[in-house]
């Protein structure tokens, strides 16, 4: 297993378009997390899954954002009708459900123009 994988690494999109990001966690990990990081700031929690169940969503996750983990393996994060304020690094992490460190992917950098 090569760690947490995120695709694409970079995405430039026009305002109003929809975008989808994918995260492949470490295969034995049943917890998966999405965070968003804007320039000069620390990451902010968006949502997390245990297996296929979405256990918590941040208030930051407006109704334009949706995340899924249909088979408890990979996850997708979709942003509809993108706005310039959505420009950020979107980070995915995974861990075991009994605790331990979270392992992060390289992130997807979204630029909305």
Partner 1 sequence: KNEVEQSPQNLTAQEGEFITINCSYSVGISALHWLQQHPGGGIVSLFMLSSGKKKHGRLIATINIQEKHSSLHITASHPRDSAVYICAVGLGLFGNEKLTFGTGTRLTIIP
Give buried/exposed letters for 30-47 (b at 16+ CB in 10 A, else e): bbbbbbbeeeeeebeebb
Question: Is the Cβ of residue 25 or residue 107 nearer to partner 1 in the bound state?
Answer: 107
For residues 68 and 78, give the distance between their C-alpha atoms in angstroms, rounded to a whole number: 9
| 75 near partner 1, rule: CB under 8 A | no
Strands 31-37 and 88-96: what pairing? antiparallel
Pick from 18, 41, 51, 111 the residue near partner 1 by CB under 8 A. Answer: 41
| 31 near partner 1, rule: CB under 8 A | yes
Provide the binding-site residues for partner 1, judged by CB under 8 A. Answer: 31, 33, 35, 37, 40-45, 48, 55-56, 89, 91, 93, 95, 97-107, 109
């Amino acid at each position: 297993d090569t760690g947490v994988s995120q695709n694409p690494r970079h995405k430039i999109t026009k305002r109003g378009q929809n975008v989808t990001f994918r995260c492949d966690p470490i295969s034995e990990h049943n917890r998966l997390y999405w965070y968003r990081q804007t320039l000069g700031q620390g990451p902010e929690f968006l949502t997390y899954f245990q297996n296929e169940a979405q256990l918590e969503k941040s208030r930051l996750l407006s109704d334009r954002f949706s995340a899924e983990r249909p088979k408890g393996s990979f996850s997708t994060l979709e942003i509809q009708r993108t706005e310039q304020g959505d420009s950020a690094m979107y980070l995915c992490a995974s861990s075991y459900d009994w605790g331990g460190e979270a392992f992060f992917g390289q992130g997807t950098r979204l630029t909305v123009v």
